[in-house]
Amino acid sequence: MNRVVVSAPGKLLLFGEHAVVYGYPSIVTAVDRRINVEAVKIEGKLDHYNCPGVKDLSFIQGTVKQLKKVYKISQKVAIATNSSFSQNYGLGSSSAVTVATVGALSQLFKLKMSKREIFDLSYKIILSLQGVGSGFDAASAVFGKTLYYVYAGKVIESIKVKSLSLVIGYSGIKADTKTIVKKLGQRYKQNRIEIEEKFIKIAKIVEKARKALINNNYNELGLLMNQNHKLLKELGVSSDRLDTMIEDALKAGASGAKLSGAGGGDCMIALVSEEKKKLVSEAVSKAGGTVIKVNPNAQGVRIES
């Protein structure tokens, strides 16, 4: 086999952001925007990269380097990517491209890596490049669907979700995850008890949300989203733009809404009934957001050809 194409999905955090960095659980869903990575064995002295639209090549190059080191491979490769999502939305393009590259190389060199091995190596690479991160995004790209996830993959469990109707609004501002996580880390050091209390409340919300998802209890799920967002606001990680988009989505009939991810920018999500989807989407647009049409609960890393 000299050529393979493997794809991995983007993600959205449904519950538990920030607290997950401190060992608490979260719930993440994979979305149906994917990045394809093609890997080909080539002759020559250097690996070759053709990755239009990938802003930061270091995740791909770092993955090739690290995987070859671990598996003692000297063969040169050409990597090409194409993606169906913008890197600006915070849908996890870096983790998706890392996972898809590990998957592609595993296939190309017949390494027979399990999904857990793909996750472990991808998370290690992402952490070495980003410095911070719970790994929820890598888990989502590998396993797909909707996951109950605890820091560093201590627990990765699939949650059976029947349907999840969301409106997703991009705030127009790229979130700086690393800086936001570090800032909260400083505040955590100064104010540990108060912040820990909020994380514990978030963890309780995550447990309830897991049950609500399993039982298709969307009213409860909406309320839990609102409670989670309130706590994120209190942690100081939201923004005026996100708050306005969320408030307007609720006014337009969403059952619940919250920021998704690090905060400061990127996306908000609103839980909506099918009938309210149009109205809520319009409200989010009017509040300055770009509505992104993605479906949750997508498949994880997979071989395309």
Catalytic residue, candidates 32, 56, 120, 137: 137
User: Residue 15 interacts with ligand PMV (CB under 6 A)?
Assistant: no
Q: How many CB atoms lie within 10 A of CB 234?
A: 14
- Which residue's entry shows tokens 């298709």? 216
d(CA 201, CA 195): 10
How far apart are CB 92 and ligand PMV at their closest, in Å? Answer: 6
Least distance from C-beta 21 to ligand PMV, angstroms?
5
289 part of the interface to ligand PMV, by CB under 6 A: no
Q: By C-beta, is 17 or 120 nearer to ligand PMV?
A: 17
Which of 6, 79, 81 minimizes the C-alpha distance to 41?
79
Residue 152 dihedral angles phi and psi, to the nearest 5°:
60, 20
Part in contact with ligand PMV (CB under 6 A); list of ranges 61-69, 131-139, 195-203, 251-259: 131-139
Beta strands 76-83 and 48-50 are parallel
Known catalytic membership, residue 137 = yes
List C-alpha distances in Å: 47 to 39, 43, 111, 122, 285. 10, 9, 19, 19, 43
- Nearest 5 degrees, angle CA 60-CA 150-CA 178? 50
With CB under 6 A as the rule, give the number of residues binding ligand PMV: 16
Query: What DSSP assignment string belongs to 260-283?
Result: ESSSSSSEEEEE--GGGHHHHHHH
Among 90, 103, 169, 289, binds ligand PMV (CB under 6 A): 90
Taking the CB of residue 9, how many other CB atoms lie within 10 A of it?
32
Binder among 175, 205, 242, 298 for ligand PMV (CB under 6 A)? 175
Distances (CA, A) of 282 to 86, 206, 222, 251: 21, 29, 19, 11
Residue 20 or 249: the one with the smaller Cβ distance to ligand PMV is 20
Q: Which of 25, 153, 261, 289 binds ligand PMV (CB under 6 A)?
A: 261
Tokens of 150: 């605890």
If one asks whether residue 169 binds ligand PMV (CB under 6 A), the answer comes out as: no
For ligand PMV, which is the closer residue by CB, 248 or 266?
266
10 lies in the site for ligand PMV, by CB under 6 A? no
- Residue 2: CB minimum distance to ligand PMV, A: 34
Which residue's Cβ has the minimum distance to ligand PMV? 261
Catalytic residues: 137
Q: Which residues bind ligand PMV (CB under 6 A)?
A: 13, 17-18, 20-21, 90, 133-134, 136-137, 175, 177, 181, 261-262, 266
